Amino acid sequence: MTLSAAKPKTPPPLPIAAHKGDAGRMLCIAGSETMPGAAVLILRAALQAGIGLVQLAVFDKNLIHAVCPAVPEAVYLDLSRSKDLIAGRLPTQIEGRKDHVRVVGPGLGQGGRTDELVRRLVTTSFSGPLVLDADGLNVIGDMPEVLAGFAGQMVLTPHPGEAARLMGVAAIATSDEGRIECAKAIAHAAGGLCILKGYHTVVTDGEQVFVSQTGNPGMASAGSGDTLCGILGAYLASVVLFGSADWTFFDAACSAVHTHGLAGDLAAAKLGQRALTASAIISHLAEAQQQLAHEPGR
């Protein structure tokens, strides 16, 4: 095991003549009638983290009307009339898309179309990074065998309860050492990355390990994980576009976690931990990224 003690790297700058496609294309499948805020937070965080184009795919057309006023920069994809999942196929609107990253799960709900969609997404020929969070993870907890069919970079982002379900245990260890071993086991099973959220969030590919030193208890509130997903999606897309030995998927995941925590710390310093919200984290994301980019030695 290699435990990274260095500060995470930052995403590479865009070329001077870059267009929005060069900043990454992200497909987000999140939100529902009762949880539209999950989609709003992911989209806003991804845009603040530098994604060039983000598209939200929804099963409920009313969700577009709920989310669009809050995130007018996003593009929307209506899956409400698709019969493909009923027929056991990935919706034609998704099949063959040229996304750089896909983020699936937050606020989707469980059962029916969600289960079938996740099953199809992890068995498609998409070769980019796929982030599974929240309800996306809950589906995988019931069908861990589907992970073996994914062709791209799998990224799982469980909190301790979701991690326990993935591991098939009642609860995971609370010590740093125990949490690291749990995250490594999940990463190995997924053949990808695991980001085990919580105090001292753990990032691992099964071999390399990073333990975050940013973040605070005020971030233990609804929507904080959705915000991380948006940042993570934007940074992973930059690896697809500009990846090298100095900027890998592991580097991007470490950077996203570190930046998310720093934005939360900056927000808490101004608002206090009790007043901290996911929206406040996003509001301080630009400052966090600027601070990290201008640190000595970068």
Q: Where are the domains positioned within the chain?
A: 20-292
Distance separating alpha carbons of residues 229 and 24, to the nearest angstrom: 15
Q: Which residues pair with 282 in a beta bridge?
A: none
pLDDT of residue 223: 98
Q: Which residues pair with 193 in a beta bridge?
A: 155
Q: What is the pLDDT of residues 72-85, one digit of tens each?
A: 999 999 988 887 77
Output phi, psi for 97, to 5 deg. Answer: -65, 150
Distance separating alpha carbons of residues 63 and 68, to the nearest angstrom: 8
Q: Answer whether residue 39 shows pLDDT above 60.
A: yes
Q: Is 27 left (phi over 0), alpha (psi -120 to 50) or beta?
A: beta
Distance separating alpha carbons of residues 235 and 251, to the nearest angstrom: 9
Q: Answer whether residue 297 shows pLDDT above 70.
A: no
List all residues 6 or more positions away from 74 whose beta carbon is below 8 Å from its beta carbon: 43, 47, 54, 55, 56, 67, 68
Q: Answer whether residue 110 shows pLDDT above 60.
A: yes
Task: Fold for 20-292, please state it.
Answer: UDP-N-acetylmuramoyl-L-alanine:D-glutamate ligase (3.40.1190)
Q: What is the pLDDT of residues 254-294, one digit of tens each?
A: 999 999 999 999 999 999 999 999 999 999 999 999 999 98
Tokens coding 202 = 């753990």
Distance separating alpha carbons of residues 105 and 284, to the nearest angstrom: 24
Instruction: Compute the CA torsion angle 146, 149, 152, 157 (nearest 10 deg).
Output: 10
Three-state SS at 160: helix
Distance separating alpha carbons of residues 67 and 31, to the nearest angstrom: 9
Tokens coding 7 = 């500060």
